Amino acid sequence: MTNDTMSSLSPTNRRRSLFAIACFALVGMMCSAGCASQASGSNEPRWISLFNGKNLKGWHPKITGYELDDNFGNTFRVEDGVLRVCYDQYEKFDGKFGHLFYETPFSHYRMRVEYRFVGEQTPGGPGWAFRNSGIMFHCQSPKTMRKDQDFPVSIEAQMLGGNGTDERSTANVCTPGTHIVMNDKLITQHCNNSKSQTYHGDQWVTMEIEVHGNGKIRHLVNGQVVLEYEQPQLDDSDADAKKLIKDENTMLREGYVALQAESHPLEFRKVELMPLEQ
């Protein structure tokens, strides 16, 4: 609008025009700021891929009976962009429980994996390990594990696959060398079931754990919360856990994460982590 046009307007219309121009300017400033924020992705989840789709860089295998970083039988491998747990080089399982540790410990975070069980269980694997694996978290350092130690002292978000017939929940919680609190009660039972549905066959499943240090922990399956608990802590009656207790403090606030291998082949096509504010 030109100055001549503005001056020809009546006082009332001139005030209305000036008000409209001011509103357009304010809206423009707000849109500009909003677009900049959206473009920068400041409000987007900050998922970090822990698995690069090419190799095991950043990960360290620990298999029962073997030294750290001895990947016996090429148990953990990357093929076609997928992280695989394989037993094709095993004659029998023979108690070789495996854990693949990420190199960095974490405290407050959300971790997400997409997994599926495939094929047949390795001969010699225990019956309970059929289509069984897990995300181990708040783990002791793999450097502190005994050579013949089966499982790290940790909390486990357990993955279970169905047998095609029976109900079998996944995203349960198990506690090797640890305890948890659920509904204000100390839980010493080793495994406790979630309320998830059963996933039969070789279908992909998305599982997440949301961890707030020594506070609330949640398990999610395909976006649905299926289990909640809190106050992860060391079991002072467990021989391996005892070695980790300092100044009589049993509470767990951080630790390493690891992917488990318990005799049934499986695959991970995503392993991601989003740090959370403390």
Give the residue from 174, 203, 177 showing the smallest Cα distance to 266.
203
pLDDT at position 19 is: 44
pLDDT at position 241 is: 98
CATH of 48-275 among 3.10.105.10, 3.40.462.10, 2.60.120.560, 1.10.10.10: 2.60.120.560
pLDDT at position 70 is: 98
pLDDT at position 2 is: 46
**Contact predicate 277/108, CB 8 Å:** yes
Give the residue from 232, 263, 266 showing the smallest Cα distance to 249.
232
pLDDT at position 14 is: 52
Q: Which residues of the chain have pLDDT under 70?
A: 1-45
Report domain extents, the chain.
3-40, 48-275
23 to 115, 138, 202, 224: CA distances (angstroms): 52, 53, 58, 43
What is the CB neighbour count within 10 angstroms for residue 256? Answer: 22
Q: At CA 218, angle to CA 207 and CA 83, rounded to 5?
A: 25
pLDDT at position 40 is: 43
pLDDT at position 44 is: 63
pLDDT at position 255 is: 98
pLDDT at position 278 is: 84
**pTM of the complete model:** 0.84
